[in-house]
Amino acid sequence: MAMSSTEAQSEIEFLNAQAVELDPIDMAVRLINKGLSQDVVTHLIKLCDHVKIIAGKVIQIGKIVLMKIWEFIQANPDLTIGIAVGAALCALTHMVPWIGPKITPIVTALGAAFGAVAGYRLDKKGQGKVFDSGVFGIAADIITLAKKFLKLFSSILIAVTEYVMGTNS
């Protein structure tokens, strides 16, 4: 889903306007009450510090990512929260490479090995090499679900990144 830089800019500004309203403490309360581990919550809250300047505007990119993860959790209320957060992060890392280093501590806190194996199997499945069932198969399906949910958001991030790279070069 390719998106022009103008479209992406207006989308990201719209998301930014929503994200500015996000209160990190309230978000922490919601996530803790949903049963997410406190270490993971703290790392997610730390994301709120990340900002990027895009087209001369300060964009609260960390808050936007957190907001999208929360939307994914709410859209899938029957998923265990740890798995939902892990799948959303895994999907985002896969689709938007620069997000990886920012969310590594969270993925570590969630148990990276599980997500990594599931992600690996997902890649193999994409190549037609492994058709898996069982726990890892389910994890791979959840990541696929998260990727579908976050596809538009990742397209926006990619288009914005391309714009920023273009203006910096």
- Hey, what are 43's tokens? 């790392």
Alpha carbons 64 and 78: distance in angstroms, whole number? 23
> Does the protein bind another protein through residue 111 (CB under 8 A)?
no
Alpha carbons 107 and 111: distance in angstroms, whole number? 6
Q: Which is nearer to another protein, 5 or 37 (CB)?
A: 37
Size of the site for another protein (CB under 8 A): 16
> Does the protein bind another protein through residue 43 (CB under 8 A)?
yes
Which region among 33-41, 90-98, 114-122, 144-152 touches another protein (by CB under 8 A)? 33-41
- Hey, what are 142's tokens? 């959840």
Least distance to another protein from the beta carbon of 37, Å?
8
Choosing from 3, 45, 55, 112, the residue that interacts with another protein (CB under 8 A) is 45
> Does the protein bind another protein through residue 21 (CB under 8 A)?
yes
> Does the protein bind another protein through residue 105 (CB under 8 A)?
yes
Contact assessment for residue 52 and residue 164, using Cβ atoms and an 8 Å cutoff: yes
> Does the protein bind another protein through residue 112 (CB under 8 A)?
no
* Helical segments of 59-111, H only: 61-75, 81-95, 100-110
Residues whose CB falls within 8 Å of the CB of residue 72, separated by 6 or more in sequence, listed in order: 84, 87, 88, 146, 149, 150
Residues whose CB falls within 8 Å of the CB of residue 70, separated by 6 or more in sequence, listed in order: 27, 30, 31
> Does the protein bind another protein through residue 39 (CB under 8 A)?
yes
> Does the protein bind another protein through residue 32 (CB under 8 A)?
yes
> Does the protein bind another protein through residue 30 (CB under 8 A)?
yes
Which region among 9-17, 29-37, 120-128, 148-156 touches another protein (by CB under 8 A)? 29-37
* Helical segments of 111-150, H only: 112-126, 134-149
> Does the protein bind another protein through residue 78 (CB under 8 A)?
no
Binding site for another protein (CB under 8 A): 21, 25-26, 28-30, 32-33, 37-39, 42-43, 45-46, 105
